[in-house]
Each structure stands twice: as structure tokens, then as C-alpha cells.
Amino acid sequence: MDRLPVSSAPADSRVVVLPAAVATSAQRVLRNTYLLLSTTLLFSAACAGVSMQLKLPYPGILLTLVGYYGLFFAIMKLRGSAWSVALVFALTGFMGYTLGPILNLYMKAIPNGGSVIMSAVGITGLTFLGLSAYAVTTRKSFRFMTSFLFIGVLTAFLLGLAAVLFHLPGLSLAVAGLFVLLSSGLILWQTSEIVNGGETNYVLATVGLYVQIFNLFTSLLQLLGYSSRN
């Protein structure tokens, strides 16, 4: 579940020097993005907690995909209006709800499920903070990764569907590892786009980063859960 990068890519990574007006605009987008992202992450976590407490059932892969992509395309269409922010909360709340049953499953199926979940949360947080800090402080352009990330996300998505449909646990673990790498790369790419003025809509930037954090967390959860059971 990713917002795919679509920008053109230069041949290599380089530090971008921006005009003062563009730099100021980029700083404003970055500030608004982090503010909305932190708020939606808390809201998503609260929805996951409610979902866990009420023991709500997992909606299934089909309904999850329909709900996610339906809300995502609605955000894209209304990205210039005030409704887009409300839709971001709807999307992140929905994803939090889908996460609740998964977390309950880990709590029941793994003796130290709580520790596994907290480890995944900690690693996800440190990874995001580290990569974001690197992109912000170095101001390097990572557009050279665009084609690789586009192909990687599409490949991982298709392999993930195959793993679910054909019940292939080994392939599922491989896809989880691939998503850890891709999500990390996309955090660098998305943050770099904001810092260097390539992304000027903080709502879309928030959705992009939220999705990478969500994918990174669930992939780490799967890998750590498997490691804990074996």
C-alpha cells in the first residue's frame, strides 16, 4: 500500500541549493507535514487500541484494499480542499482499525507478543527519525532512486498478493523483508522531495510518509514475530 514515486530522476544523488523563496516554502510544507503526520499517527494508534479492546474482526484483504485505495484516490482528487485533511484522518483511522485485529493475533499467538509489538514500534520510530534527519540535514536529492522504488513497490505488492492467495509463508517473509528496505528508501525519497521543493502539498506528503511508516511497522512485526516463534 504505497504512494508510488512518479518524479523524474537525475543520474546521481546531490545536494540541492534552493532559492530563498522555495526554501521557505519547503520548510513550511515540512513543518505542516510533520504536524499532521504526528497527529494522524496518534489517531491511528488510538483507533488500533479501540479495535483491540472491542476485538473487532479483520475486514479481509479485499475490503482493506478497497477502503485504502478508495480513500487514497479521494484524497488525491480533493488534495487542494479542506476536505482532504478530514479524509487523511479517515484513511489513517481505517488503517488503525485494520491493525487492531493483527495486533490481537500477535498477542495471542506469541508468548511474548507484547514485547514483539513494542520492539517493532521502537525500530520503526528510530528508523523513521534517523532517515528523516539524514534527508533534512544533508538536503541530498534521492530522485535517482525513483525508478528502482517504483519497480520495487509494484513487484513487492504483486508478490505479497501471491503469498496471501497461495498461502506461501516463505514468500510472505521475503516480501516483508523487501518492504522494510523499500519503505526505508521511500521515507528518504519522500522527505527529500519535501525538503528540496519537489512536494508542495503537505497532505499528500503526510499520506506518503504515513503509508511508509505503516508498511515498515507491519513488515518488522512479521519478521520479529517469525523470529520469536523460531
The answer to whether the CB of 209 falls within 8 A of the CB of 217 is no
Q: Which pLDDT score is estimated for 13? A: 53
Instruction: State the average pLDDT for the chain.
Output: 91
The C-alpha cell that represents 101 in the structure block: 485485529
pLDDT value of residue 227: 87
What's the rounded Cα separation, in Å, for the pair 62 and 83?
Answer: 26
In this structure, the dihedral spanned by the alpha carbons of residues 154, 160, 164 and 167, taken in order and rounded to 10 degrees, is: 130
Share of the chain above pLDDT 70, in %: 90
Residue type present at position 26: A
CA pair distance 52, 36, nearest whole angstrom? 24
User: What confidence category does residue 6 fall into, taking pLDDT thresholds of 50, 70 and 90?
Assistant: very low
Per residue in 117-127, pLDDT tens?
999 999 999 99
Alpha-carbon distances, residue 131 vs 59, 121, 136, 150 (angstroms): 32, 16, 9, 19
Task: Kindly tell me if the per-residue pLDDT of 148 is higher than 50.
Answer: yes
- pLDDT band of residue 23 (cuts 50, 70, 90) is confident
Cα separation of 154 and 67, whole Å? 19
In this prediction, residues 35-64 reach a mean pLDDT of: 96
Q: Which residue has the higher pLDDT, 4 or 1?
A: 1
- Taking a C-beta distance cutoff of 8 angstroms, is the pair 180, 216 a contact? yes
| Other Cβ atoms within 10 Å of 177 Cβ, number | 14
Rounded mean pLDDT of 68-78?
A: 96
Answer whether residue 11 shows pLDDT above 80. Answer: no
Query: Quick one: pLDDT at residue 4?
Result: 41
For 150-209, what is each residue's pLDDT tens digit?
999 999 999 999 998 898 999 999 999 999 999 999 999 999 999 999 999 999 999 999
Residue with cell 519522500: 190
> What pTM, to 2 d.p., does this model score?
0.90
Q: Residue ranges of the domains in the chain?
A: 20-229
CA angle 155, 1, 218 (to 5 degrees): 100
| Distance in angstroms (rounded) separating the CA atoms of residues 171 and 214 | 20
